[in-house]
Amino acid sequence: MTTLTIWDWEVEKYPLQVGVGVIIGGWTFVKLVNYFLQRSKLKSARVRKRAECKQAKQVLEDQIKQRNISKEVVEEITNLSLSELQSKLKDGTLDVLDVLHAYQAKALECDEKTNCIIEPFKEAEEWAASVKENVSKDSPLFGVPVSLKENYGVEGYDSVYGMSVLIGKPSHEDSVIGQVLRSQGAIPYVRTNVPQTMISWDCSNPVFGATKNPHDTTRTPGGSSGGECALLAGQGSILGFGSDIGGSLRIPSNMCGTYGFKPTVGRLSAKGTHGCTKGQQIVRAAYGPLARDVDGLVTAMKALLVPLMFKLDPTVNPLPFRTEVFEDNRKLKIGWYDNDGWFTPPPCMQRGVAIAKAKLEAMGHTLVPWKPPNATLGAELYVRAMFSDKCETINEMLRYDTLDVCFMIQYTMANIYWPLRRFLVFILHYLMPSLSTGLKAIAGCDSAYDFWNLAVAAEDYRKMVIEDWQSHDLDAVISPGFGCPAIPLKTPALATSAVSYTTIFNVLNFPAGSLPVTKVNAADTANMKDYPTIDLAHKTVKKGMVGAEGLPVNVQCITLPWHEEQCLRVMKDLETALKA
């Protein structure tokens, strides 16, 4: 009888061991093969998607060449402000198609420099023709080209937000905001890039690559609506739309020197938009406009707050734009702060607030020091809510995907094995307290009971901040636009703590807008020598400030929930004072 041997084992002697070994080996082999097959499937999907989008851009570029539109005309049209453009479209000085063609050409030029566009809409010409035929010239956005962040659903187009698994799964209908925009005469013409998962303030992903800042292409444009703001800052868009669950309308506005407005959740419709935190109801995403001036934001809000939106999405508050509140010229009491006590912003951000404060005072408003109490609790609640599912939704979507550098730190922190997490939380508490707080909070919730308690804690925090605000009798508050100006590409994940300046108003669900007030100057960078380097985030910002001269610096204006018009009014006052 022959003896079956594996290596030099006699199988008959160890049947159990061999059996278990074969099962484990076979299972591991099948798992590994499956893993590599799934990864290669996703890689092919990415390659295919990139090629399709490149091809769509190429087709548009060829059309632009054929149209023979001069560079001067493109500049002339794209340099007009929104109100100038609107009046020229209305009185017929400019034709809807010419305006569209100018913006298409300018958008491709911006894309060349910053990689801000995912793809143009193939139907843009058709939509423009339909606007000319069916929409009244008196409609607020008649003939205005608009850009959309990639997570706005558009029938027949994928919303991928850097997750390869979402490639080839197109939306079946347009978002409500998209539908209302088109009914008001707007023409969507391009969709813009975002970071993987959109839970990042950088703007890169393995499908479409990194978007760069038009002011300095070695730096981030911010995120997650980074493609939108890079395009606006390069004059490749006049009006864009994005989303904000932690600052995504305001952070890239601050990095690119553009204007962004986050309304109260439920003021504008979220129907037909996409994201990977849909089931998380403690901090919800708000949708809003991005523009080149405050008038652009106001025009967009007015155009959207109409009966059609309330009909298409009856879950939104049916409150039309209150022009009387926006135009009110009563002098206001405005709180200000330049350090939230959680993350120290560099001197340029504090100077931005000082400029805004002086300008608003010169307009007759009263400015008093105030900041949201307990910013550390605000940051903790934010991170726990965002990762309350222990990152499982994202883990599932990213299982076979390539992880982008913009999400790597969040992913790693969320997935650390619990004994190691406990150990690190304990050690870091003494070395880098804010990192320790973040690491503890990002562990999320252990049960539904835990989640309910988190919801109660967030509610109590909102109540406490509102009471404090009201006890100071404030109408509005101004703060730094973010924790820092644009820092080099790939470094934002190392400075995640800087998001406390924007995330707090998502936890609170207060309307907040961002507008440019100044630029980083040589004195700001020289003053960095005293900047604290207490943890990785501060160190990253300090390093990132080298060579930052000339970058935009924004401030935020904030009001209580549903007071959007008052928030925009403060922004308008500040813009007027700055331009005077």
Among 60, 176, 268, 383, binds ligand LS3WMSL6 (CB under 6 A): 383
For the annotated catalytic residues, the residue numbers are: 149, 224, 248
For residue 492, the cross-strand partners are: none
Residue 503 touches ligand LS3WMSL6, criterion: CB under 6 A: yes
Residue 337 touches ligand LS3WMSL6, criterion: CB under 6 A: no
Among 111, 216, 244, 573, binds ligand LS3WMSL6 (CB under 6 A): 244
Among 497, 514, 518, 559, binds ligand LS3WMSL6 (CB under 6 A): 497
- Which candidate, 500, 567, 517, 547, places its Cα nearest to that of 351? 517
- Which candidate, 529, 551, 531, places its Cα nearest to that of 481? 551
Among 248, 264, 388, 566, binds ligand LS3WMSL6 (CB under 6 A): 248
Q: What is the smallest separation between the CB atom of 255 and ligand LS3WMSL6, expressed in angstroms?
A: 12
Q: Which CA distances in Å does 508 have to 7, 389, 449?
A: 65, 21, 22
Q: Which is nearer to ligand LS3WMSL6, 135 or 394 (CB)?
A: 394
Residue 204 touches ligand LS3WMSL6, criterion: CB under 6 A: no
Residue 413 touches ligand LS3WMSL6, criterion: CB under 6 A: yes
Token output for 555: 């401030």
Q: What is the smallest separation between the CB atom of 49 and ligand LS3WMSL6, expressed in angstroms?
A: 21
Contact 283, 248 (CB under 8 A): no
- Which candidate, 193, 160, 207, 170, places its Cα nearest to that of 47? 207
- Which candidate, 191, 115, 197, 212, places its Cα nearest to that of 161? 197
Residue 367 touches ligand LS3WMSL6, criterion: CB under 6 A: no
**Rounded CA separation 528/546 (Å):** 9
Region near ligand LS3WMSL6 per CB under 6 A, out of 61-69, 71-79, 382-390, 443-451: 382-390
Residue 406 touches ligand LS3WMSL6, criterion: CB under 6 A: no
Residue 305 touches ligand LS3WMSL6, criterion: CB under 6 A: no
Phi-psi region of 213 (alpha: psi -120 to 50; beta: other; left: phi over 0): beta
Residue 245 touches ligand LS3WMSL6, criterion: CB under 6 A: yes
Q: Which is nearer to ligand LS3WMSL6, 503 or 540 (CB)?
A: 503
Residue 500 touches ligand LS3WMSL6, criterion: CB under 6 A: yes
For residue 71, the cross-strand partners are: none
Region near ligand LS3WMSL6 per CB under 6 A, out of 164-172, 229-237, 312-320, 377-385: 377-385
Residues 6+ apart with CB under 8 A from 408: 493
Phi/psi of residue 441, nearest 5 degrees: -65, -35
Q: Which CA distances in Å does 236 have to 91, 101, 179, 201, 575?
A: 23, 11, 22, 21, 22
Angle formed at CA 74 by CA 70 and CA 80, multiple of 5 degrees: 145
Q: What is the smallest separation between the CB atom of 503 and ligand LS3WMSL6, expressed in angstroms?
A: 5
Of 214-233, binders to ligand LS3WMSL6 (CB under 6 A) are 224
The length of the chain, given as a count of residues? 580
**Rounded CA separation 230/215 (Å):** 9
Q: Which is nearer to ligand LS3WMSL6, 353 or 383 (CB)?
A: 383
**Rounded CA separation 119/214 (Å):** 18
For 153-303, strand residue ranges (E) read: 187-192, 204-205, 209-210, 239-244, 259-262, 286-291
Phi-psi region of 148 (alpha: psi -120 to 50; beta: other; left: phi over 0): beta
Among 108, 478, 499, 517, binds ligand LS3WMSL6 (CB under 6 A): 499
Q: What is the smallest separation between the CB atom of 425 and ligand LS3WMSL6, expressed in angstroms?
A: 12
Q: What is the smallest separation between the CB atom of 434 and ligand LS3WMSL6, expressed in angstroms?
A: 6
Region near ligand LS3WMSL6 per CB under 6 A, out of 197-205, 300-308, 316-324, 478-486: 197-205
- Which candidate, 20, 112, 104, places its Cα nearest to that of 66? 104
User: What number of chain residues touch ligand LS3WMSL6 (CB under 6 A)?
Assistant: 26
Residue 255 touches ligand LS3WMSL6, criterion: CB under 6 A: no
Q: Which is nearer to ligand LS3WMSL6, 518 or 556 (CB)?
A: 556
Residue 205 touches ligand LS3WMSL6, criterion: CB under 6 A: no
Q: Exposed (0-12), middle (13-18) or buried (19+): which is 473, by Cβ within 10 Å?
A: exposed
Of 426-455, binders to ligand LS3WMSL6 (CB under 6 A) are 438, 442
Residues that bind ligand LS3WMSL6 (CB under 6 A): 198-201, 224, 243-248, 275, 285, 379, 382-383, 386, 410, 413, 438, 442, 496-497, 499-500, 503
